[in-house]
Amino acid sequence: MNQRASNLLDEALGLVDDGSKAWPLSGRVVLVEDRVETSAAFVLHHLVKRALSPHSSNVVVFLALSQPFSHYDRVFRKLGCNLGAQSENNRFFFLDMLMSEFPDGDEGGLVALYGKIEKVVSSLLQENKKCITIVVDDLSLMEAAANGFSNYVLDFLHYCHTLTSAFGCTLVALNHEDIYLGMERPALILQLEYLADILMKAEPLATGLATDVHGQLTILNRGMWDGQGSSRNRICNFHFRVKENGVEYFSPGSRA
């Protein structure tokens, strides 16, 4: 049941048949936006879990700004994935950035961080591991660490973007939509939306709170430029319910 239900998210992302094909998110930028009422951390967890699944040879580079390793370890253990073992196998690189700061007027800290990522990527490429997913959790904290200089964060993301186009890495980033609501020109989030190939938004239901629906997920999947696969932009919308060891996805109206 859970397997079948989770297909709604996988379908929207084009993750349905792995094994036979290459990682479909390769070379793409995935932006996840959430709100304070509906956290979309579960989407990141899902993507990381999919990337680390035993069928694939994907490697995850995880930039953690919001939670310590022990938190992620607990969450993933519930999902049936041992992060400790994965990092021993060199498939999960955890960059703990909880305490990091990138003081204003100097981009050096972010350059060094990018350098770390590039080092990991280059060593993995030498080992002939092609599918690398870079996950940022989350961008608003990176902006805060850069003292609100969102331009530095954008520069950093631009450099990460060069990794996606040059080596087919996947860039997954989480950001909060509602903290930019009052702004006239929220450059960081707008620029990211332009950059993103797949844009996901987790929002509360328009009708208000419900006991068995925790929110809705809207996914815009922009077509690929190389003419393969689905070429037209697609939008999917479905509801979700976060449970202790997984998430249920279902079409609107199929639950009470």
Partner 1 sequence: MTESICRALRDGALEGEHAPALTIKDSIASPFGFHVFTHVLTQLSSQILAGKSQSRGLVLVALSRSPSFYVDLLKRRGFDVASSKKWIQILDCYTDPLGWKDRLVESGNIAHLYSEASSRASLCKNVKDMDKLFTSIIELGKGLVGQGKVRFCVAIDLVSEIFRHASISSVAGLLSNLRSNDQVSSIFWSSHSDLHEERVTAVLGYISSMVASVEPLNQSANGLRCNSENLSLLERNYWKGKFHARFKRRNGRVRVMSEEFHVEQSIINFTPLSSEDEMINRSLLPKVQFSLQLSEKEQIDRAKVVLPFEHQGNGKPIQIYDGRRSLADSKNEAAPVATGVLQTNENSSTGEIIYLRDSDDERPDSDEDPDDDLDI
Binding site for partner 1 (CB under 8 A): 107, 111, 114-115, 118-119, 122, 125, 151, 154-155, 158-159, 162, 165-166, 185, 187, 190-191, 193-194, 199, 201, 206, 216, 218, 220, 222-227, 231-235, 237, 252
In Å, what is the CA distance from 97 to each residue of 23, 63, 127?
A: 27, 7, 26
| Whole-angstrom distance, CA of residue 83 vs CA of residue 89 | 10
- Closest to partner 1 by CB, 4 vs 185, is 185
* CB 164, min distance to partner 1, A: 10
* CB 173, min distance to partner 1, A: 16
* CB 162, min distance to partner 1, A: 6
DSSP 8-state class, residue 224:
P
Residue carrying structure tokens 């990092």:
87
- Closest to partner 1 by CB, 90 vs 231, is 231
- State CA 53 to chain mean position distance: 16
- Closest to partner 1 by CB, 147 vs 162, is 162
- Closest to partner 1 by CB, 81 vs 200, is 200
Tally of CB atoms within 10 A around 90: 13
The answer to whether residues 133 and 48 touch, using CB atoms and an 8 Å cutoff, is yes
- Closest to partner 1 by CB, 21 vs 119, is 119
Strand order in the sheet with 170-176: 92-96, 59-64, 132-137, 170-176, 29-34, 198-203, 215-221, 234-243, 246-250
- Closest to partner 1 by CB, 55 vs 185, is 185
* CB 232, min distance to partner 1, A: 5
* CB 170, min distance to partner 1, A: 16
| Whole-angstrom distance, CA of residue 158 vs CA of residue 192 | 10
* CB 38, min distance to partner 1, A: 14
